[in-house]
């Protein structure tokens, strides 16, 4: 059985190979030209390390390289490249579930639109509290400008 560190090194090297393949498919641009294409958001040495395969580049570097440098679509990068990067990152730095907590984050419902106001809501309970405090209920009288004027007249009298 191979040593876990060898598996990790192989996964990082494979990701770097895939980056080099994307670079080649984009015309095998020199690193300095890639840096210019990326708006100088990443240094020459950072790109060199990403292609070298000894360390995993940050997602920000990999994404900028693929979208801006290699001109891949954002959908391709998010759909194909992000899962590859996450798989290698999980080998390097696995996430441990909290003690006694839920290990499966997929149980949490995705955000949905509020039927009353149309906002995208991630936490329905908190959003209902917001509605209760800040959004008037139809038919219920709210303190408005007329009430404020009346109070002001009483103070002046």
Q: Where are the domains of the chain?
A: 4-92
Q: How far is CA 86 from CA 37, 45, 112, in A?
A: 25, 23, 25
pLDDT at 82: 94
Q: CA angle 7-12-16, nearest 5°? A: 145
| Distance from C-alpha of 39 to C-alpha of 122, rounded to nearest angstrom | 34
pLDDT at 141: 55
Residues with Cβ within 8 Å of 49's Cβ and at least 6 positions away in sequence, in order, are: 55, 57
Residue 55 contacts residue 12 (beta carbons within 8 Å):
yes
> What residues form DSSP beta bridges with 113?
120
pLDDT at 1: 36
- The per-residue pLDDT string of the chain (157 residues; one tens digit each, 9 = 90 and over) reads 344 588 889 999 999 999 999 999 999 999 999 999 888 888 889 999 999 999 999 999 999 999 999 999 999 999 999 999 999 999 898 888 877 666 555 556 677 777 777 777 777 787 788 777 776 655 555 555 566 666 666 667 6
pLDDT at 2: 40
Tokens of 35: 């840096």
Tokens of 73: 């679509």
pLDDT at 124: 79
| Distance from C-alpha of 117 to C-alpha of 109, rounded to nearest angstrom | 19
| Distance from C-alpha of 109 to C-alpha of 56, rounded to nearest angstrom | 31
pLDDT at 109: 67
């Amino acid at each position: 059985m191979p040593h876990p560190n060898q598996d990790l090194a192989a996964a990082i090297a494979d990701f770097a190979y895939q980056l080099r393949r994307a670079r080649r498919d984009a015309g095998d641009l020199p690193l300095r030209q890639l840096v210019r294409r990326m708006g100088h958001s990443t240094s020459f040495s950072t790109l060199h390390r990403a292609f070298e395969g000894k360390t995993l580049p940050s997602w920000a570097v990999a994404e900028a390289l693929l979208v801006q440098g290699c001109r891949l679509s954002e959908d391709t990068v998010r759909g194909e490249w992000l899962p590859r990067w996450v798989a290698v990152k999980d080998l390097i730095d696995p996430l441990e579930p909290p003690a006694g907590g839920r290990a499966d984050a997929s149980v949490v419902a995705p955000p949905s639109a509020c039927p009353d106001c149309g906002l995208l809501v991630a936490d329905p309970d908190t959003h209902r509290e917001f509605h209760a405090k800040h959004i008037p209920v139809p038919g219920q009288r709210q303190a408005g400008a007329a009430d404020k004027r009346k109070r002001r007249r009483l103070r002046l009298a």
